[in-house]
Structure 1
Amino acid sequence: MCGTNSSSMAPSKSLNMRVSVLLLLIVCGSAEAFSTKKRKTVVEEIKKINENGPYIGLITVYAPEESAFFASGAFQSDPKHPFVDLAGRRFRVGKVHNKKVIYVRCGIGLVNAAAATQNMVDMFEISGIIHFGIAGNANSSMSIGDVTIPTQFADTGLWDWLNPNGTVDSSDFGKLDIGNYNVPRGEGQNLLGHVGYSTEQFYSESGDPNTPQRVIWLNTTTHWLNLAANLKGIRLERCVNTSFCLSEEPKLVVGLKGATANTFIDNAAYREFLFQTFHVSSLDMESSAIVMTSLSNGFPVLVIRGLSDLAGAQKGDNHIQIFGPLAASNTARVVIEFLKTLPNHQHALL
């Protein structure tokens, strides 16, 4: 950290110490000047990019999803302003089927997702957000390779973790009794107690400042969901490679529910609990944050997730390593087709 406590330096300190402090101040001053100059350059670049807006914001999470999207060849980079680096992320500017887009990879987890989305809507001329990637499957009627476009998301990571004799708050949406999973069941006391699932505090531009609503479900944009429903017959890939294929053709399903938490879920019992309690079909670590941030700022939002595994159902390692690329590829295909069919004059409508 730049700076020093001058009161701690006695007059007898050597000349070398004084020179070191002087050099430190010079370096710190130069770093601050460089940082200010860099920020100014970034702001000027963004200003030029925004002159050609509005854009649709595209957000993925990690490298395999990004690779699948760019491997499609649908993204055409802007020749004058191909990208701008902001807050450690690269925002790429271009077009998909003649729709102007700005793409970013946010990184894993709720904080990264919310931060990248807020950067997107604050800094760029955006008309709406499409978030896409892969997800775990909580619904046994869905299959690996299927793509889901949910209507709602719940944050299932907001827990009130109580002691064995604690009482779950009446406002909590769900309750998980850890002791119900004892083996043998019902024998003895489980000191892990109970988990109550709390509600989100949703802040919105349409509401009063500093007055959040308590919500369980965050809704994606109805207008975009209706447009996406027209894609249900889209053909999705079922083969990982030339010798390894799924037994059934994957399908696109519009209108289910999803759950988000900062937890990678690879446990069948917990997956079944989430399905029975929240009636969710997809499990991920980012979507609810992106939906809530978009809605808080008044932007339409759609989430498209490809299923890579039935969480915890496999023997051995999770199937995400095998089927993740296929799920990412099918998801990218749906995103690209949605952008293709999205009318230019409607993409900003709620």
Structure 2
Amino acid sequence: MAAKFITRCSLLMQVLVFFLAVVPNAFALPLNRLKSLTVIKEVNRRGPYLGLITVYEPEENAFFATGAFKPHETHPFVDLSGRRYRVGKIHGEKVIYVRCGVGMVNAAAATQQMLDLFDIKGIIHFGIAGNANDSMSIGDVIIPKQFANTGIWGWVNLNSTTNLSDVVHLDIASYNVPKGEGTNLLGQIGYTDEEFYSELGKPNTAQPLFWAETSKHWLHLAANLEGMELEQCVNSSLCLPHKPKLVVGLRGSTSNIFVDNAAYREFLVRNFHVSSVDMESAAVVMTSLSNGFPVIVFRGLSDLAGGQSGGNAILKFGPLAALNTAKAVVQFIKTLQ
């Protein structure tokens, strides 16, 4: 009997080895994920951490250029779902940093994954944004108190009845040139609320929400940063005409749209009174609030979102805006201590 058992085990092992050799990719992802989850378990033993989230590479480069981030000696990063979560400290504060990728889906997915898997005590989201506020300038850093997802709307046919419950309506024909002439078949857009699910709410029941609030106690602390020194020059030959400033308590707009249009910029300002436009912040804020975590957002103004007379300035001043934002975040983390 023992000999038969050994023979059967041997055959099973041969079949398993053959299967792994023939279809190695079938097990590659689960094994990689298992390894990452094992590292995460070890990392969490040293928590909790502040979660830091940027969007794309120039913002990440600016963050590391501050020199404030000190990687963990034994577990400097964890790779998961194609993203690299970096583990370390800033001014002695334990942090986990990730670059989420452009757009609201990427932002929400990375935020939720971070909150689900790591021992996180709050989220700090930062990056660059378009400037929609004429009293602000390129290079300035804003820490908004509210964000709206201005990408949720219903597009109505010409002459159709609009929804009275919509927050705002955009009549596209109003932008015809010459004004009022001709028929515009694009009709109207009606902006609507988010469906907000929360740990603090009734399960499986959404609440309407348009303005998502960042955490008031963190905003109060961030107010201490107003007046901090920010960079004015990209290099020795390229400088802003003014000294950048940091402002707390404005409003931000988020949608899966890169806004570089003067008329639409003016519409957002007139109807929503926003100062910045970006593609991720509202998703990070809503995901954090849904899970019951504090959240704050820092955005450096890199361009005028279409309000300029020439080309968009994001390539020229984006790195400067990203650096100023990263410096403000580092200072904020120092303030938390």
Name the TM-score class by shorter chain: over 0.9
User: How many residues end up aligned between the 2 structures?
Assistant: 322
Superposition pairs of residues 83-98 of structure 1, within 5 angstroms: 83-98=77-92
Q: SS in structure 1 opposite 2:307?
A: coil
**Corresponding residue of 2:284:** 290
**Corresponding residue of 1:141:** 135
Kindly state the Cα deviation for residue 27 of structure 1 after the two structures are TM-superposed. Answer: 5.5
**Corresponding residue of 1:14:** none
Q: SS in structure 2 opposite 1:165?
A: coil
**Corresponding residue of 1:19:** none
- The answer to whether 1:230 aligns with 2:252 is no
Q: SS in structure 1 opposite 2:33?
A: helix
286, 305, 313: which one aligns with 1:319: 313
Relative to 1, partners in 2 of residues 1:162 and 1:251: Cα closer, same or farther, differing over 3 Å? same
Q: What is the TM-score with the length of structure 2 in the denominator?
A: 0.93
- The answer to whether 1:116 aligns with 2:110 is yes
| TM-superposition CA deviations, 1:165-223 (whole Å, max 9, x none) | 12221221111000000011001221100000011000101111110100110000000
**Corresponding residue of 2:25:** 31
Counterparts of 1:236 and 1:114, CA distance in 2: 29
| TM-superposition CA deviations, 1:137-172 (whole Å, max 9, x none) | 111111000000000000000011001212221221
306, 320, 334: which one aligns with 2:300: 306
**Corresponding residue of 2:8:** none
63, 66, 86: which one aligns with 1:69: 63
Counterparts of 1:118 and 1:233, CA distance in 2: 33
Superposition pairs of residues 183-222 of structure 1, within 5 angstroms: 183-222=177-216
**Residue type of the alignment partner of 1:96:** I
**Residue type of the alignment partner of 2:32:** K
Relative to 1, partners in 2 of residues 1:178 and 1:136: Cα closer, same or farther, differing over 3 Å? same
**Corresponding residue of 2:4:** none
Superposition pairs of residues 154-165 of structure 1, within 5 angstroms: 154-165=148-159
| TM-superposition CA deviations, 1:25-60 (whole Å, max 9, x none) | 656753333333222211110000000000000000
Contact 2:78–2:84, Cα closer than 8 Å, also in 1? yes
**Corresponding residue of 2:238:** 244
Q: SS in structure 2 opposite 1:183?
A: coil
More displaced, 28-37 or 132-141? 28-37
**Corresponding residue of 2:94:** 100
Superposition pairs of residues 324-343 of structure 1, within 5 angstroms: 324-343=318-337
Counterparts of 1:143 and 1:275, CA distance in 2: 15
Kindly state the Cα deviation for residue 125 of structure 1 after the two structures are TM-superposed. Answer: 0.2
Q: SS in structure 2 opposite 1:333?
A: helix
| TM-superposition CA deviations, 1:216-275 (whole Å, max 9, x none) | 100000000000001101011111111221111110000000000000000001000000
**Residue type of the alignment partner of 2:138:** I
**How large is the RMSD of aligned CA atoms in angstroms?**
1.6
**Corresponding residue of 2:147:** 153
- The answer to whether 1:50 aligns with 2:30 is no
Counterparts of 1:83 and 1:30, CA distance in 2: 25
Kindly state the Cα deviation for residue 317 of structure 1 after the two structures are TM-superposed. Answer: 2.5
| Gap runs ≥5 in structure 2 | 1-16
Kindly state the Cα deviation for residue 313 of structure 1 after the two structures are TM-superposed. Answer: 2.2
Q: SS in structure 2 opposite 1:325?
A: helix
Relative to 1, partners in 2 of residues 1:53 and 1:26: Cα closer, same or farther, differing over 3 Å? closer
Q: SS in structure 1 opposite 2:317?
A: helix
Counterparts of 2:236 and 2:217, CA distance in 1: 38
More displaced, 158-167 or 249-258? 158-167
| TM-superposition CA deviations, 1:278-324 (whole Å, max 9, x none) | 00000000000000000000100000000011111224431000010
Relative to 1, partners in 2 of residues 1:34 and 1:313: Cα closer, same or farther, differing over 3 Å? closer
Q: SS in structure 2 opposite 1:323?
A: helix
| Gap runs ≥5 in structure 1 | 1-22, 344-350
**Residue type of the alignment partner of 1:51:** R
Counterparts of 2:225 and 2:193, CA distance in 1: 33
Relative to 1, partners in 2 of residues 1:239 and 1:201: Cα closer, same or farther, differing over 3 Å? same
